[in-house]
Structure 1
């Protein structure tokens, strides 16, 4: 499958990027074509116009390139941190530039935090948001607390938290694969209703 892993922290010392890289490596090892979409690197402006609001060929090139990648993806993994009980603005801003591009594919949520709650509140908020954006959010979610201790700087699991992540990831990936294959088969069988 063609899978996008989306990450959105703009902070200088971004620990969550470790989890995003871990997801890319693990999904690639399972035979998928995986790309990390880092909101900071894409560099979209604060939302003024959605991609669909530009005339064909007039959207900024970084926005148009990402739109094509989203449309080509068969599944998404959102790696989400928690800011003040909510979602990171960088990733939310990136996602809001698009709408129909997300439709009819599954999304999975990996949450994290520096503390012990593992980004659970952000995960909850993202679940509703991704559903509203036209995706099926899989039931398998993973929360990684104390991210700096659970993954080293290369994204290798360490300690008890890392061991728990390594145990949980295969089921998470299998769930995403099942829904990705199901959605692809249904889209090939019948066009989406809108």
Structure 2
């Protein structure tokens, strides 16, 4: 069964490397016959948060925000691809997510982290778990931590070397976990409306 999955990426840096991992995730999900779409915060270009989507009158939100709200509402699950900035989350990705709230509710999310070093952005991944839970998502227990990213994926997002092989071996468990929770959430929403 195909799932509609949005893959969020949030670096605004000139020489960003994490886009390799975001593209890898999209490619791998599509290979599993999921409908995966990359949502690149830089390309979306939302301003620093002033008003959340829900704070606009109906039909008055900027068109790009309205479009993204619809995609979030229609998605079955989410994957957040995040780098680590000074032990914390990427500001671009955090800013994008904060524009929405109820749109995220009652769907699962997975966290994929990366860094230039061997720790693979795990501290950012841990921070995202609490944030996404607070925003109404069920965060799956499986994670992927990729580092050093330039020794794991090439410019096209293709796995390279021993680290790339390790990522290819780890991805199916992550995707299976996300798929299980996605199907469980869909079944529950069909069985019983969310309580709020």
For normalisation by structure 1, the TM-score amounts to 0.99
Which one of 115, 125, 128 corresponds to residue 127 of structure 2?
Answer: 125
Name the residue aligned to 1:80: 82
Matches within 5 A, 1:86-165: 86-165=88-167
- How many residues align? The count is 194
Cα shift at 1:79: 0.2
Name the residue aligned to 2:5: 3
Name the residue aligned to 2:71: 69
Cα shift at 1:160: 1.6
Name the residue aligned to 1:42: 44
**Runs of 4+ with deviation above 2 angstroms:** none
Q: Which runs of 5+ in 1 are unaligned?
A: none
What is the distance in 2 between the residues matched to 1:135 and 1:55?
A: 25
SS of structure 2 residue aligned to 1:138: strand
For normalisation by structure 2, the TM-score amounts to 0.98
Cα shift at 1:62: 0.4
Q: Which runs of 5+ in 2 are unaligned?
A: none
Q: Deviations over 1:35-91 (max 9, x none)?
A: 000000000000000000000010000000000000000000000100000000000
Q: Deviations over 1:15-54 (max 9, x none)?
A: 0000000000000010111100000000000000000000
